[in-house]
């Protein structure tokens, strides 16, 4: 395990509009407001045909082949994630969410493209931190580096 310490800075309350893509909107907001690291909480609705990454096809196989799923119909959702800058200094969101409709629920990474349906509420807690994301050559993932 690696770790570092952070302190809480600014707190932002965001309302996203119908059709906005969660990760694109939050990354653009972070860049515009010079946010290098943050915790993000999401509550709202996901539009029909929003996409989630729901796992690798094979757990230990390389190269990693992501599995995606498409939401059928509007879903209720909640999520939690972090923003840290990558090696180019761009803020990158890593957020997982759970989305439900009727008796069915799906959980996955929202990076594939979750679009807001009517309600998108975000609480963004900016952190003062030296942590960042660095590309791992083995997996291709931008992994958190705490120091």
CA distance 42 to 120: 7
Residue 100: band (very low, low, confident or very high) from pLDDT cuts 50, 70, 90: very high
- Three-state DSSP at 29 gives helix
* Total-model pTM: 0.95
Phi, psi of 46 (to 5 degrees): -110, 135
Examine the pLDDT at 57 and tell me if it is beyond 90. yes
Closest CA to 40 of 52, 32, 29, 54: 29
Q: In the prediction, which pLDDT does 34 show?
A: 98
- Sheet of strand 116-128: strand arrangement: 7-16, 116-128, 37-46, 75-85, 91-101, 104-109, 51-56, 66-70
How many degrees, rounded to 5, is the angle at CA 100 between CA 98 and CA 102?
Answer: 165
Examine the pLDDT at 147 and tell me if it is beyond 90. no
**Two structure tokens written together for 61:** 């196989």
Q: In the prediction, which pLDDT does 60 show?
A: 87
Sign of CA dihedral 146, 24, 16, 14: positive
């Amino acid at each position: 395990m690696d770790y570092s310490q952070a302190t809480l800075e600014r707190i932002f309350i965001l309302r996203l509009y119908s059709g906005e893509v969660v990760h694109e909107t939050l990354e653009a907001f972070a860049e515009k407001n010079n946010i290098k690291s943050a915790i993000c909480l999401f509550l709202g609705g996901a539009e029909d045909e929003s996409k989630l990454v729901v796992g690798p096809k094979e757990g230990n196989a390389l190269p990693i082949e992501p599995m995606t799923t498409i939401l059928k119909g509007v879903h209720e959702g909640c999520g939690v994630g972090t923003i840290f800058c990558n090696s180019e200094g761009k803020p990158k969101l890593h957020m997982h969410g759970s989305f439900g409709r009727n008796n069915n629920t799906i959980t996955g990474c929202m990076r594939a493209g979750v679009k807001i349906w009517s309600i998108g509420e975000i609480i963004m807690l900016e952190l003062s931190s030296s942590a960042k994301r660095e590309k791992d050559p083995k997996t291709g993932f931008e992994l958190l580096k705490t120091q």
